[in-house]
């Protein structure tokens, strides 16, 4: 697909949205076009004498991961992750999450094709911070997080980026499997469903990738990180549940505020306790340094809440990914409340 054609499609998309969010869509088109302008086929980058050897080796590994994704995980055989772009920055986009002061339900923003999602992405950090500040001025809890990759849901071929090429091989695989999962199944207007599904695909994919291509050290590192991640998620989920119960009490605002503060401080103390059993691992220190609030906690819940249900569904189909994907597509066609209830029953041990 030529650059001019892709740009024309983005312009048509912009014109179809009306004027209400014209500034936001302009930055989206500009940011996406800048990525296309910088990208080159990976084979071409590898063959370039000026490409550092370390980058050539990483990109060659990416092509192996990409082939594995389609051949072994039944993920789309698209052109995604066959091109490379260096953006000269740490993250590709910055996502803004916002949640009311006494709620755990994230705000949503709606877009053509993708539907409504629980965050709003910006290609320039200052733009994200400016938008978040406006939401905070209206009394909302906000969280701005940089992300190394995102999916265009198969509308365009997503490239490999400098923002994640320096990751370890299994982390690159994890990211690619996750983003390709969004091309496999996507439920409009349900971020929690989509992200939880993609997390299960990435986890199963990395497990199989390591069994075939990983070293013993890679496997050990990944399993250790997953144990710590599960501990962290349980901690955040517990705080999410406590805050949800608190906000349901409808106490006076000042008392609610004080109890909220106490719950968040308790979560930080519990994290320090967790770390004593982690042998010095500091992977979540930066998350806590941001001083967690409703939005930050909700941003984790979006990616984790329905993971147990999807894991149970995968087990129900004997680990067979094609059957699992077919079952997930059936769920995606249901109303949100019904598919969520079914996944929660699966997580609880029901059929």
Domain boundaries, the chain: 3-166, 217-347
Q: Give the pLDDT confidence score for residue 242 in this predicted structure.
A: 98
Please give the residue that has the higher pLDDT: either 9 or 115. Answer: 115
CA distance readout (Å), 315 to 54, 74, 122, 311, 322:
39, 17, 37, 6, 13
Average pLDDT rounded to a whole number, residues 324-330: 98
Query: Can you name the residues that pair with 147 across neighbouring β-strands?
Result: 93
* Reported confidence tier of residue 125, pLDDT bands at 50, 70, 90: very high
Q: Is the pLDDT of residue 301 over 80?
A: yes
Q: Is the pLDDT of residue 15 over 80?
A: no
* Reported confidence tier of residue 46, pLDDT bands at 50, 70, 90: very high
Q: Give the pLDDT confidence score for residue 3 in this predicted structure.
A: 46
Instruction: Render pLDDT for 328-338 as a digit per residue (tens, 0 to 9).
Output: 999 999 999 99
Which of 157, 167, 141 lies closest to 59, judged by CA? 167
Average pLDDT rounded to a whole number, residues 176-196: 96
Q: Is the pLDDT of residue 10 over 80?
A: no
4-8, 17-21, 32-36, range with the lowest pLDDT:
4-8
- Rounded to two decimals, what is the model's pTM? 0.91
């Amino acid at each position: 697909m030529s650059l001019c054609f892709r740009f024309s499609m983005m312009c048509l998309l912009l014109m179809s949205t009306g004027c209400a969010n014209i500034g936001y869509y302009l930055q989206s088109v500009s940011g996406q076009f800048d990525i296309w302008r910088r990208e080159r086929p990976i084979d071409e980058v590898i063959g370039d004498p000026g490409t550092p050897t370390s980058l050539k080796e990483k990109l060659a590994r990416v092509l192996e991961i990409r082939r594995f994704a389609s051949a072994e995980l039944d993920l789309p055989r698209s052109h995604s992750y066959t091109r490379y772009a260096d953006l000269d920055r740490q993250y590709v986009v910055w996502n803004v999450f916002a949640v009311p002061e006494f709620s755990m339900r994230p705000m949503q923003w709606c877009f053509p094709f993708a539907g409504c999602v629980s965050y709003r992405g910006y290609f320039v950090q200052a733009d994200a911070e400016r938008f978040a500040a406006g939401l905070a001025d209206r009394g909302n809890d906000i969280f701005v997080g940089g992300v190394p990759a995102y999916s265009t849901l198969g509308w365009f071929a997503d490239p490999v980026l400098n923002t994640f090429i320096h990751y370890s091989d299994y982390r690159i695989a994890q990211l690619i499997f996750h983003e390709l999962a969004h091309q496999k199944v996507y439920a409009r207007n349900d971020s929690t469903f989509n992200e939880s599904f993609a997390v299960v695909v990435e986890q199963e994919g990395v497990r199989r990738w390591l069994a075939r291509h990983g070293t013993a050290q890679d496997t050990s590192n990944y399993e250790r990180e997953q144990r710590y991640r599960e501990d962290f998620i349980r901690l955040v989920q517990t705080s999410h549940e406590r805050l949800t119960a608190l906000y349901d009490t409808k106490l006076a605002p000042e008392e609610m505020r004080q109890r909220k503060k106490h719950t968040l401080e308790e979560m930080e103390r519990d994290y320090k306790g967790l770390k004593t059993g982690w042998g010095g691992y500091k992977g979540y220190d930066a998350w806590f340094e941001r001083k967690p609030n409703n939005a930050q906690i909700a941003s984790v819940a979006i990616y984790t809440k329905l993971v147990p249900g999807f894991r149970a569904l995968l087990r129900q189909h004997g680990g067979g990914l094609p059957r699992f994907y077919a079952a997930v597509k059936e769920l995606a066609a249901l109303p949100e409340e019904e598919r969520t209830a079914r996944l929660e029953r699966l997580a609880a041990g029901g059929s």
